[in-house]
Amino acid sequence: MSDRLDPDRIPRHIGIIMDGNGRWASARGFERTVGHAAGEQSIFDTIDDCLELGVEWLTVYAFSTENWNRSAEEVDFLMAFNESLLVRHRDSVAEKGVRLHFIGLSADPRVPRRVVERMAESERLSAGNTAMHVVFAFNYGGRAEIAEAARAIAEEAAAGTLDPSTVDVSTVAARLYLPEMPDPELIIRTSGEQRLSNFLLWQSAYSELVFTPVLWPDFDRAALIECLGVYQARDRRFGGVVSTDEAGEH
């Protein structure tokens, strides 16, 4: 634990938008795919760091529903890369007590069946682990997740198993991809971009957002500690106020 951090204020759940792989590669005269490969170590170093710091949940944005708009070559690489990543790392991660989860549109026919099978295998192999939960948001989009929940509610109402008048926030939350996942207290985006890009839209309602200029392949423990320091310096009010002087703030 860094002496810069308060161990009692480590976020229970951190979400990370891993951005900047392409720019990292382009700056070095490489193809974009080289940047994705270079970012691999950052993923597993960050898992180790979060585990050591006492983070309970870590969600990483591995492939978005909008990433299908990239070149066929890059998409094909990312599909094969994510499959290879699971095969090469899931056992070592599981041995550390990490439970793996995957959220997203796994039934999308564009996702190779072998990738879906690898994800299911990884979840099954790590199901008994309790040291930390790592969630890969793969073929994921926040809008799609909310739409899927709305569809489930509509189907239940049409079937007569759900009274529409009882639908509330908890009804929607219970039908998200991973209902037991707590909302992230902190969302980090690397590369300097300052937007959520359709990541955990429902869950991030009160998340603290920290944007770092560090490109994902260069994201290391020092960068993580820096982001956590920014988070701990903030006052999380959830729409409330801490003094009468701030009574007009929202």
Q: Which of 67, 183, 218, 220 is catalytic?
A: 67
Give yes or no: 19 in active site: yes
Phi, psi dihedrals of residue 232, rounded to the nearest 5°? -70, -20
Q: Which of 3, 6, 8, 19 is catalytic?
A: 19
The residue among 215, 217, 185, 187 whose CA lies nearest residue 199 is: 187
CB atoms within 10 A of CB 49: 18
Give yes or no: 163 in active site: no
Are 99 and 129 in contact by the 8 Å Cβ rule? The answer is: yes
At a CB cut-off of 8 Å and minimum separation 6, what does 160 contact? none
Are 180 and 12 in contact by the 8 Å Cβ rule? The answer is: no
200: which 2 tokens? 């955990």
The catalytic residues are 19, 67
